[in-house]
Amino acid sequence: MTEICASLREIDQHVLAETAAIIQPTVRRLSIRKLETENVIHTIFSHPPVVRWRKAQGAQTKRPPLLVLLHGRGADENDLFSLAPAIDSRIVVASVRAPLPTDEGGYTWCESRSPGRYIGESLRFTLTWMQTWLDSLASGRSEAQAMYLLGFSAGMAMASALLLDQPTRFAGAVLLSGTLPFETDISLERDRLKNVPVFHGHGSFDRVIPADLVTRSANYLQEKSGATLQSRHYPIAHEISEPEINEINAWLVQDIASRLKP
């Protein structure tokens, strides 16, 4: 029996040694990939975003209102910039490129588990990066500037995350064809957006974002957020139509005008 137990121990040690020989290189490779990923992320977030600008013309204030455009997954700063001609010329337009390149081309704002379900840690990285850039726009300036967000698809999650994280920072937001950042550290408490102007638009034939998230987002905005909400549905798929952008522009112009009244 003693000899058998000794033999089994030798076999176990041999198996463990072989297993270790297989696992250790794999662990080293994974560690190297993790380190490379961390280095890439550090490099990405150490630079300000790439932004395409349109200057304002005929503005009534020293610092014209600013509209920040946040595109969807797989696009870049040029995508939503095509909307600029439809936006009132008195508004500055800044179309921002998301920080993370995607395998299929273009960029996205953060990692996700599945469409519309974002990873909180990744979202927070990008949120801090965007807030730092926004801080730089106000640095050294004494005049206030009304700042609006417009996010489409994954950009809606980013826009709503920025808005929910710092509700008093923004004059309002346009949230299109996406979802709010559920299951992250972003606060979705009742009245979080109390009296904040929000335009929410979605296409009736849009199947890109899961229906449960679309419904949940609409319910929060309508019933719990406290926002001054304008909600619209359009007979379109995952896109922004001409009637929609025209309504958005009218909404912006009206809200900006209300702020200029004595």
- What's the pLDDT band for 259 if we cut at 50, 70, 90? confident
Indicate the CATH number for domain 49-260: 3.40.50.1820
pLDDT at 46: 87
User: pTM for the complete prediction?
Assistant: 0.85
C-alpha torsion 12→13→17→22, nearest 10:
10
Domain ranges of the chain: 1-46, 49-260
pLDDT at 260: 80
| Cβ atoms of residues 251 and 199 within 8 Å | yes
Give the start-end residues of each E strand in 71-222.
92-96, 100-101, 107-108, 112-114, 117-118, 147-152, 172-176, 197-203
Cα 245 to Cα 11, 66, 235, distances in angstroms = 72, 16, 14
* Among 104, 106, 113, residue whose Cα is nearest residue 152: 106
pLDDT at 17: 42
CA distance 123 to 140: 28
Provide the token pair at 106.
């273009």
Q: Residue 29 above 80 pLDDT?
A: no
CA distance 13 to 207: 55
| Poorest-pLDDT segment among 143-147, 150-154, 238-242 | 143-147
Provide the token pair at 182.
């559920």
CA distance 160 to 230: 15
| Poorest-pLDDT segment among 126-140, 161-175, 225-239 | 126-140
pLDDT at 223: 98
In this predicted model, what pLDDT tens digit does every residue of 92-124 receive, in sequence order?
A: 999 999 999 999 999 999 999 999 999 999 999
Provide the token pair at 6.
């000794």
Residue 147 burial by Cβ neighbours in a 10 Å radius (0-12, 13-18, 19+): buried
* Among 229, 230, 199, residue whose Cα is nearest residue 87: 199
In this predicted model, which residue has the larger pLDDT, 81 or 33?
Answer: 81
Q: Over range 223-250, report the average pLDDT.
A: 98
In this predicted model, what pLDDT tens digit does every residue of 64-84 receive, in sequence order?
A: 999 999 999 999 999 999 999
Phi-psi region of 65 (alpha: psi -120 to 50; beta: other; left: phi over 0): beta
